Amino acid sequence: MAVTNETNTLRDIDRLLAAADGGEATRLKVLHNALVKTTLAVESDPSEANLRAYEKADRLFTDMVRRLDEKYFPSAPPPRVWKTRLDALKYLQDQGYKVGRSKLYKDAASGLLALEPDGSVTEKALKRYVRLAGLKKLSEIAAARGPDPSDLAVTKQKREIERLTEQVSKMRLEREILEGRHIPKDEVYLELAGRAGMFELGLRELFQDPAKLREMIATVGGDIDRTEDLRELVIGWIVTKLREFAELGEFEIEVRG
């Protein structure tokens, strides 16, 4: 059984309790009390049941301390170290730097790239080398040179293709309109408006015609019980007008500004 260092444990608890929120602090206290209780139980009676209870309490408490410590007191990652010059070279190339093996080895021999006694390369030494050697990333070199002429040519060609495609589509639509396969939207709206006006005019003439009005009066003879006869008469007239409206051919619409 591992022996808990009480002084270190209390120091860790005080530090974490000061940083943790209410719920976390309560759980940490409960787990610590459980650990102390099971520890005392094992010391007085090291039975298998007491040992299992202690191990569980210790595991839960240790895990809680670790999680809170990582949350509130994150430690900085240790500096990177590359075991060989080749490992350092691969790292630089993966980062996009333009540097070859012969150059890096030559700079290491001259001391521009500082090596450790065992031949390893520290992160600090590698950053210093990048700065002193003036290494540039391929993306930075490309940006300094400006756009590739071949890329500009491809872009120009794509735009020309798009322009020609749009022009062909427009010519095809114009041809289909001339062939009567398409009707401009404005013309459709104007046609519908004209036909609606013709229908309204027909209905107005229908109910303003004295002969029609006399026919309506004669049909019912002033008898309000014959409203059904009047309704059928009017509906018949409307149906006739609708049929005439549907059979309208071409007509001209005069638009006055």
The amino acid that residue 105 corresponds to is: Y
* Confidence category of residue 145, pLDDT binned at 50, 70, 90: low
- How many whole angstroms separate alpha carbon 242 and alpha carbon 246? 6
Residue type, 239: V
Domains identified in the chain, total number = 4
Question: Residue 256: inside a domain, yes or no?
Answer: no
Please tell me whether residues 174 and 215 are part of one structural domain. Answer: no
Residue 198: inside a domain, yes or no? Answer: yes
Is residue 255 situated within a structural domain?
A: no
Q: Which range marks the domain in which residue 171 is found?
A: 149-182
Q: What is the pLDDT of residues 83-132, one digit of tens each?
A: 999 999 999 999 999 999 999 999 999 999 999 999 999 999 999 999 99
| Residue 67 in domain | yes
Question: Which residues are bridge partners to 82 per DSSP?
Answer: 121
Q: Which of 119, 143, 167 delimits the end of a domain?
A: 143
Judged against a pLDDT cut of 50, whether residue 148 lies above it is answered with yes
Phi, psi (rounded to 5 degrees) for 106: -65, -45
155 and 139 housed in the same domain: no
- Residue 76: phi, psi to the nearest 5? -70, 140
Same structural domain, 118 and 134: yes
Residue 9 has pLDDT above 60, yes or no: no
Q: pLDDT by residue (tens digit) across 172-191?
A: 877 776 666 656 666 666 76
Question: Is there a single domain that holds both residue 178 and residue 191?
Answer: no
Q: Is the pLDDT of residue 194 over 80?
A: no
Average predicted confidence (pLDDT) for the chain: 80
- 193 in the same domain as 171: no
Looking at the structure, tell me whether residues 88 and 101 fall in a common domain. Answer: yes
Residue 77 Cα distances to 6, 16, 141, 165, angstroms: 28, 21, 31, 57
Position 254 in a domain: no
Listed residues 25, 54, 72: the one ending a domain: 72
- 38-79 per-position pLDDT tens digit: 999 999 999 999 999 999 999 999 999 988 988 888 876 788
Of 68-72, 192-196, 233-237, which range is least confident? 192-196
Helix (H, G, I), strand (E, B) or coil at 122: strand
pTM: 0.34
Do 96 and 59 share a structural domain? no
Domain boundary among 72, 95, 129: 72
Contacts of 219 (CB under 8 A, 6+ apart): 226, 229, 230, 233
